[in-house]
Structure 1
Amino acid sequence: MCGRAEDLFTPKAVAALTKLFGPFGWRALDRTEIRPTDQLRVVRPGAEGYDAPLARWGLIPERMTEDEAKKYAMFNARIETLERSRAFAQPFRSRRAVIPISCFFEWPVRQNGVKTKVRIARPDGLPLLAAGLWNCTEDGTASCTVITRPAPADLVGVHDRAPALLLTRDLEAWLRGAPAQAQRAAASSWQPGLLTVLPA
């Protein structure tokens, strides 16, 4: 599950994002805790390279208003059920995106039953590139969701789900590949041992 994130990008992360996607004001927001319904930067294929608009975190499906969407938790979408989901199937076929974040947070339950907030990030200061979907309503409201997958082995003790993080080699498959290719990339790109889990 991914319900809290951060976009405090290091200079190294800004350089990497600029090289990958372009100069899209990566330090414009600098938030320590992003929650569902807040704005996320959404990188998607554009006419010349990429676009990177801000979008509401929590997908608003077609034929649904923002008020109606508030009744549902659509800030995450399970990779296993994308193709048969009424809310996510069409965006998965034609509106895939990458959502850069600096970290995400979880609250694992410790032995004493107390939940402790942890920060999950790359130790090298590079950004996390989460697979996502976007949509735009008739009134022009942009929205997005973060894809989740079963947690890699090193995060199972934190939560049984994790964002579907992408290595740069798999960006093209996720953004422009056929649905089956994109699903494989999101489900398997990220490998154990690349993240640190530290008290937040």
Structure 2
Amino acid sequence: MCGRYEYQLKDPLLAHFYKKLGQESTAATGTVYPGQEAVCLGLDPKAKVRVASMRWGFDGFKKKQLLINARSESINDKLAFAQAFRYRRCIFPMSAFYEWSADKTRFLFSASEVLFVGGCYQVLPQADGQSQAQAVLMTQAADQVVGRVHQRMPYFIHKEDLRPWLNDWAYASNYRGQAPELAMQKDSPDRLSHLVTLDLE
């Protein structure tokens, strides 16, 4: 289960996405937590990839409950997520993500490139008359690296597959993208100095 991730503006591509949101953006940077506004990628009505700010987490079934993750293996079968995944897929770009071991030790996982993680979103009316986009982050079974700490990890989408994954439900439903080569380190106060970034443009 992915419950925290990093969005570092040191990376030129992540800074580029953030700038697209405009000066009034309230999207989180640094360590991103459930319930915060997150930078996401999605398709507009003309099937062009756009940057948007979405709250990380669907409203849950109980008051103040947030649904933050959806299993990729069963997302089409879950009432809470099936319609959103079919019609409203999105991408969470990030620098790195965290997982916790059984003894509550936190580990940071990063790569030599921006990570793109699949998700889906819904748009709900709010009490103030405005609408709010809410997104969940998808997970998959952990690979050998992450599996040393936790049995689940984010559901990665390769950069070259972003557009077809966003645009085609059948393609997305059958997608089996492999995780990038991940580096694992035990969390420490100076962890951000070790993050490796790469300008992908």
Asked if these proteins are the same fold (TM beyond 0.5), I'd say yes
Percent identical residues: 26
Q: Indicate whether 1:105 and 2:98 are aligned.
A: yes
Give the superposition deviation at 1:22: 9.3
**1:44 aligned partner:** 42
Q: Indicate whether 1:134 and 2:121 are aligned.
A: yes
1:189 to 168, 174, 177: 177
User: Where do residues 10-159 of structure 1 align in structure 2 (5 Å cutoff)?
Assistant: 10-14=10-14, 18=16, 24-25=20-21, 31-47=29-45, 49-60=48-59, 68=62, 70-71=64-65, 73-109=66-102, 114-122=103-111, 124=112, 126-139=113-126, 140-159=131-150
| Structure-2 change in CA distance of 1:55 and 1:31 (3 Å) | same
Give the superposition deviation at 1:59: 1.6
Q: Indicate whether 1:174 and 2:155 are aligned.
A: no
Partner AA of 2:185 in structure 1: L
Give the superposition deviation at 1:47: 4.0
Give the superposition deviation at 1:190: 2.2
**2:194 aligned partner:** none
CA distance in 2, matches of 1:8, 1:83: 32
Which consecutive unaligned segments of at least 5 residues does structure 1 have?
A: none
CA distance in 2, matches of 1:138, 1:81: 27
Q: Which runs of 4+ in 1 moved over 4 A?
A: 25-30
Deviations 1:75-128 (A, max 9, x none): 00001111111110000110000111111111223xxxx432111111x2x211
CA distance in 1, matches of 2:169, 2:29: 34
CA distance in 1, matches of 2:58, 2:186: 30
On the 8 A contact 1:174/1:182 being kept in 2, the answer is: yes
Give the superposition deviation at 1:12: 4.1
**2:192 aligned partner:** none
**Aligned residue pairs, count:** 180
| Higher helix fraction (1 or 2) | 1
Give the superposition deviation at 1:23: 5.3
Partner AA of 1:45 in structure 2: L
On the 8 A contact 2:97/2:108 being kept in 1, the answer is: yes
Q: Indicate whether 1:3 and 2:27 are aligned.
A: no
| Structure-2 change in CA distance of 1:145 and 1:12 (3 Å) | same
TM normalised by structure 2 equals: 0.78
TM normalised by structure 1 equals: 0.79
| Structure-2 change in CA distance of 1:198 and 1:25 (3 Å) | farther
On the 8 A contact 2:14/2:93 being kept in 1, the answer is: no
